Amino acid sequence: MRDIIDIADVKKRFLGHLTLTKGMSRNTAQAYSDDVDKLIRYLGDAGVGIEHATTDDMEHFVCTLQDVGIQPRSQARIISGVKSFYKFLRLEGYMDTDPTELLLTPKIGRHLPEVLTIDEIDRMIAAIDMSKAEGQRNRAIIETLYGCGLRVSELVGLRLSQLFVDERYVVIQGKGNKQRVVPISPVAIEQINLYLEQTRSRQVAQRGSEDILFLNRRGAMLTRQMIFHIVKQLCELAGVRKVISPHTLRHSFATHLLEGGANLRAIQQMLGHESITTTEIYVHIDRTRLRDEILTHHPRNNPPRNA
C-alpha cells in the first residue's frame, strides 16, 4: 500500500479509469466522481483519511445518507460509485483491503416509467409549429426519438454518416461506445429527408459539427437541455398532463413494440441494453396498462348506480 494518497491525483486517475477502461460516458463517470466527493467530505469531517476508512465508517456514511433523506435508489447509485472507487484503489495498489466489500446496497422497488399513448404522441407532433424555421427539424427529432427509441445523448450526437436511409436503418453509438443497428421507420425517414432538404442543406455547420444531423440556428450540435425544452414545450401545447422527458419517448417506443407483439430480445438489441433484465421492465408496464384497462372498461368493474 502507498503511504500517502493525493486525492486530486487519484480522482483524476479514477475518472480516466472509468471513461477509458470501463467505457463509461463522461457524464456517468462524473456522477461517480461526485458520489466519491460525498464520501471524501464525510470522512474529512470525521478526521479519517480515505485510505484508513473501515467497514464501520462506510456503514455510518450510508446511515448519514438515509438521515438526510436521500432515497434508496440514489443511495444505491452513491454506494455503487464508492465501491467502484475502492476497487480502483486496490487495483492501483493504493490499498490492500476494500472497506466497501461487505457494504450492502438498499433494496429498490421496481419503478415503472411514464409512457405516452400513441394519441398523446400524435398530439405532440400536431402541436409543432411548422411555420417556424425550426419546425421541420423538431418534427424530425420527435419522429426519430420515438421511431428509434434513442437516448437523448444518442440523438444529439447522431451523425449524417450514421444514416442509411435507403436501407432504412441507423447505426447508433451507445453507452460504452458500443454500436448497434436500429431500424428506422418510413415516417422518420420522410421527416428527416424533409429537414435535410428544407433546413439542414442551407445551414453552415460550425467546425466540428459538419457531420452532425440536428443543428441549432448557429450551426452547432444541439444540447440535451434543448431537447428537454422542445419535448416539454410540445407536451404542454398538446395538453399532455404527464411529467415527461425525452426518455419517455424511448419508454413509449419499447412499450408500443411489446404491445404490438415484438420479441423482448429484439427490443433489448434495439435499445442497446446489456442485460435482458433491464428490458423486462416493459413487460411490467404492459401488464400494468392491461390491468388498468380492465379495471376501467370491464363492466363488472363499473356496476350500474342504484336508481
pLDDT in tens, 38-48: 999 989 888 88
Long-range contacts of 293-298 (CB under 8 A, 24+ apart): none
Q: Which residues are catalytic?
A: 151, 175, 247, 250, 273, 282
Pairing of strands 163-164, 169-173: antiparallel
Q: What is the pTM of this model?
A: 0.61
Q: What is the pLDDT of residue 59?
A: 87
Q: For the chain, how big is the Rg over CA atoms in Å?
A: 24
Phi, psi of 212 (to 5 degrees): -75, 135
Q: Give residues with Cβ within 8 angstroms of 229, minimum separation 6.
A: none
**Residue numbers of the chain with a pLDDT score lower than 70:** 1-4, 107-112, 276-307
Q: What is the pLDDT of residue 285?
A: 55
Q: What is the pLDDT of residue 297?
A: 44
Q: How far apart are CA 58 and CA 198, in angstroms?
A: 58
CA dihedral 208, 211, 213, 218 (to 10 degrees): 40
The per-residue pLDDT of the chain, averaged, comes to 84
Hey, CA dihedral for 66, 72, 78, 81, is it positive or negative? positive
Q: Which domains does the chain have, with CATH numbers?
A: 7-91 (1.10.150.130), 118-296 (1.10.443.10)
Q: What is the pLDDT of residue 293?
A: 46
Q: What is the pLDDT of residue 31?
A: 87
Of residues 95, 105, 99, the one with CA closest to residue 14: 95
pLDDT in tens, 180-221: 888 898 999 999 999 999 999 999 999 999 999 999 999 999
